[in-house]
Amino acid sequence: MRASRRARLVEHVRVPLHRDGYALAANSAFTAVAGLVYWVVAARRYGAHDVGVNAALISSMMFLAGIAGLNLTNVVVRFLPEAGTRTARLAALSYATACGAALAVAFVFVVGVGEWAPSLDFLRDDRLIGAWFVLSTLGWAVFAIQDSVLTALGRAVWVPIENAVFSLLKLALLAVFATLLPVYGIFVSWTGAMLVSVAGVNFLVFTLLMRRTPARPARATTLRSRAFARYFAADYACSVAWLSASNLMPLVVTAVAGATANAFYALAWAVSLPLYGFAANIGMSLVLHGSREPESLPALERKAALQGARVLGPTVLGVVVLAPLVLSLFGGDYPEQGSTLLRLLALGAVPYFVLTLLLSVARIERRFRLAVAAWAAQAVLALGLAVPLIDSLGVTGAGVAWLASGCSVATAVLVVRARRGRVSRGIGAHASPLAASAPPPR
């Protein structure tokens, strides 16, 4: 009996979709533990106000780098496997494009920070921290893409290793900078570790991994075609919507309730974020393998949905039950102020997974109309509801806005998908459940 179970498990893991999905899931699991330890140390070394300020800096950097990244994280996963002998050139071009755009947006942000983020106006007054913020934004733009490069090369098993090194290094730097930098040590330790990771990983990618990757013949995809332009614009719109919802929320909390309230939000978000990372990793694996085997998309989609549900469901339930215990590790008022918020953010990972599967299939089939509408609606609802709800409920209002927006949009997507699926079956069309919700090709 045990031998039979072991054989089934080995067979299950040997499926490329499952293997890469679990590798990326292992990355999320380790990141969760390491991130928890990091923020526990940060919360105990720094006051809540300083934690809130540093968290706002990190969120701003991620938002700007994400905007500048032009959604190349997803473009790389979708098209790098088809690049053939142009693989190295396409990867380098992606990095260079992201860095150029990051330099521009970060400079504009710092110069006009008093207009769009008055709570961070010290970036303009302190030239050293301002320059470090710009450099960090460039680094994060590359850092966000490099996981996609590894995955597209069929080297997803390196992603957990890379992020383990990053997580351990930033924890070590935090211990050092807690004394040397009593205000900005969290931000500098986080970004310093990231810059080291960027240098090390890409040295490995361009000197070793690309040479060992079997060369595949380039497909007929052209990055200059109108079809690609439509793909890029639609996918980028979805990416900007997610970046806005996730990374502007801390700025909204800081503006409405102050930096201390943002500390409660930031740590609750840090604990729940790996749940969203796991969902995104399952979607990334689906895009990679669905692009290579488009004829198997319905089966791959079902496998991805089941794989995600088996891990995400129990994990979300565990966070909901253990929220006060987890936040007690941070000390202070974090359990009292953040437990309900953490539960709401954790539950929000479920509708996020639904939207992620929708977007993954849209990327493979290049049918984006429903996906763009869904992600834009979620961002508008989350940020739009946040201000009045924070005013009335305190920082918990941000969690209510987040969960309500996700559930509303995911429910609407499922209803539209079900209706269009019935229509497709009625006319004898064969399509995957999520693909049925997409409009016909233009």
Say yes or no to pLDDT of 401 above 90.
yes
Spatial separation of the C-alpha atoms in residues 199 and 330, rounded to whole Å: 32
Q: State the pLDDT at residue 190.
A: 95
> Taking Cα atoms as reference points, which of 93, 79, 359 lies closest to residue 227?
79
Query: How does pLDDT run across 152-174, given as a tens digit for each residue?
Result: 787 766 777 888 889 889 999 99
Q: State the pLDDT at residue 254.
A: 92
Per-chain mean pLDDT for the chain: 83
pLDDT level of residue 222 (50, 70, 90 thresholds): low
pLDDT level of residue 423 (50, 70, 90 thresholds): low
Whole-structure pTM value: 0.78
> Taking Cα atoms as reference points, which of 28, 371, 394, 407 lies closest to residue 231?
371
Range of weakest confidence among 125-129, 145-149, 213-217: 213-217
pLDDT level of residue 341 (50, 70, 90 thresholds): very high
Highest-scoring range by mean pLDDT, 28-32, 256-260, 420-424 = 256-260
Spatial separation of the C-alpha atoms in residues 177 and 165, rounded to whole Å: 18
Q: What angle do CA 317, 321, 322 make, to 5 degrees?
A: 115
- CB of 17 within 8 A of CB of 300? yes
Say yes or no to pLDDT of 420 above 60.
yes
Mean pLDDT of the region 176-197:
92
Spatial separation of the C-alpha atoms in residues 162 and 143, rounded to whole Å: 10
Spatial separation of the C-alpha atoms in residues 177 and 187, rounded to whole Å: 10
**Residue percentage of the chain with pLDDT more than 90:** 45
Q: State the pLDDT at residue 433.
A: 35
Q: Which two tokens stand for residue 268?
A: 């609750």
Q: Which two tokens stand for residue 377?
A: 């609606």
Q: What is the Cα Rg of the chain in Å? A: 21
Q: State the pLDDT at residue 432.
A: 39
> Taking Cα atoms as reference points, which of 273, 252, 398, 419 lies closest to residue 337?
398
Range of weakest confidence among 113-117, 124-128, 226-230, 279-283: 226-230
Say yes or no to pLDDT of 435 above 50.
no
Query: How does pLDDT run across 280-338, given as a tens digit for each residue?
Result: 878 877 877 776 777 777 777 778 888 778 888 899 999 999 999 999 999 888 999 99
Range of weakest confidence among 76-90, 164-178, 375-389: 76-90
Q: State the pLDDT at residue 218.
A: 47
Q: Which two tokens stand for residue 365?
A: 């089939």
pLDDT level of residue 26 (50, 70, 90 thresholds): low
Say yes or no to pLDDT of 365 above 60.
yes
Say yes or no to pLDDT of 79 above 90.
no
Say yes or no to pLDDT of 185 above 80.
yes
Range of weakest confidence among 127-141, 143-157, 223-237, 404-418: 223-237
N-term to C-term CA, the chain = 53
**Residue percentage of the chain with pLDDT more than 70:** 83
Say yes or no to pLDDT of 74 above 80.
no
pLDDT level of residue 73 (50, 70, 90 thresholds): confident
Mean pLDDT of the region 163-191:
90
Per-position DSSP letters for 352-387, written without gaps between them: HHHHHHHHHHHHHHT--HHHHHHHHHHHHHHHHHHH
Spatial separation of the C-alpha atoms in residues 69 and 114, rounded to whole Å: 24
Spatial separation of the C-alpha atoms in residues 342 and 271, rounded to whole Å: 8
Exposure of 310 by Cβ count < 10 A (0-12 exposed, 13-18 middle, 19+ buried)? exposed
Spatial separation of the C-alpha atoms in residues 356 and 378, rounded to whole Å: 12
Say yes or no to pLDDT of 4 above 70.
no
